Amino acid sequence: MNPSRHKEPASVPPEWQSVEMRRQRALAATRRRYAEDELQAAVARGAAQYVILGAGLDTFAYSNPNPHVRVFEVDRPETQAWKRAQMDAAGIAIPPSLALVPADFDHRSLAAALQDAGFQGRAISFFSWLGVALYPNAQATLATLGFIGSLPAGSGVVFDYPARGSSLDLAKDAAHGPQQETAMDALASRFAAGGGAVQHFVDSRALDRLLRSVGFQEVEDLAPAEMERRYRSDRADGLRVSPGLAHFVSARV
């Protein structure tokens, strides 16, 4: 199907056809495409494990094009139990390559939860952390990033984070920098102090420094405009991701 000719299906409820709701759906589709593109690049590097943090209703494991890649869905126990009940009711079996990992990171580390599920710490692995706010506990967030950064070379993670509209292109637009310059620095300071709430908005430059400090060697940070150029430049219907909704990051060990 030619995406430039795509139209909303008639079955879409009217309330979902507003410009803003269409843009939010475009955001969800775009970040999914970005994550799967980065996953395929990781598989080419030898990744044999894919961990979906905050998996929610993610269905990748049921259409996984890489049967040799083991998928780990990580989420809160109650969320996984509800999803499992829905799948059972629909007669959909759990694929052999999928492991469900119930976890509450406020009380247990990601590393411990994954180990119990059969995760191999010496294997190249890829993680996605999409559409999920950073943990309210800054220590847990740093521990998770540090764990991924400690994995074998070739491992990586994709995630998105909120940035204020004025900082969408912070590295290229210094005039907008002062408003956002301290947001991620404040978060990094709380990491260093071992506590505190995660900030709602993140500064791209400080995030880059933080990721490199916990073991990542390559960091790509894409603003919405850059994602538009990559995935939607050929569309003729004007559908765009709302400015300021999210940045997309791919970090490689």
CA–CA gap between residue 94 and residue 216 (Å, rounded):
33
In this prediction, residue 229 carries a pLDDT of 81
Q: What is the pLDDT of residues 216-234, one digit of tens each?
A: 999 999 887 788 788 777 7
C-beta of residue 180 within 8 angstroms of C-beta of residue 71: no
Residue range 180-206: mean pLDDT, rounded: 48
Residue range 101-108: mean pLDDT, rounded: 80
In this prediction, residue 137 carries a pLDDT of 58
Q: Where are the beta strands (DSSP E) in 61-217?
A: 70-75, 98-102, 125-129, 156-161
- Torsion angle of alpha carbons 90, 96, 98, 103, nearest 10°? 90
C-beta of residue 128 within 8 angstroms of C-beta of residue 53: yes
In this prediction, residue 197 carries a pLDDT of 41
The pLDDT mean for the chain works out to 77
Q: Return the domain boundaries, the chain.
A: 48-123
Q: Is pLDDT of 204 > 50? A: yes
Nearest to 221 by CA among 139, 146, 160, 153: 160
Q: What is the pLDDT of residues 26-70, one digit of tens each?
A: 777 788 889 999 999 999 999 999 999 999 889 999 999 998 999
Confidence label for 20 from pLDDT (cuts 50, 70 and 90): low
Q: What is the pLDDT of residues 109-143, one digit of tens each?
A: 889 999 999 999 999 999 999 876 555 556 777 88
What's phi and psi for 189, nearest 5 deg? -65, -40
Residue predicted with more confidence, 16 or 203: 203
In this prediction, residue 176 carries a pLDDT of 34
CA–CA gap between residue 116 and residue 5 (Å, rounded):
47
Nearest to 159 by CA among 246, 74, 242, 229: 246
Q: Is pLDDT of 198 > 70? A: no
In this prediction, residue 226 carries a pLDDT of 83
pTM: 0.77
In this prediction, residue 26 carries a pLDDT of 73
Residue predicted with more confidence, 84 or 202: 84
Percent of the chain with pLDDT over 70: 68
Residue range 141-165: mean pLDDT, rounded: 87
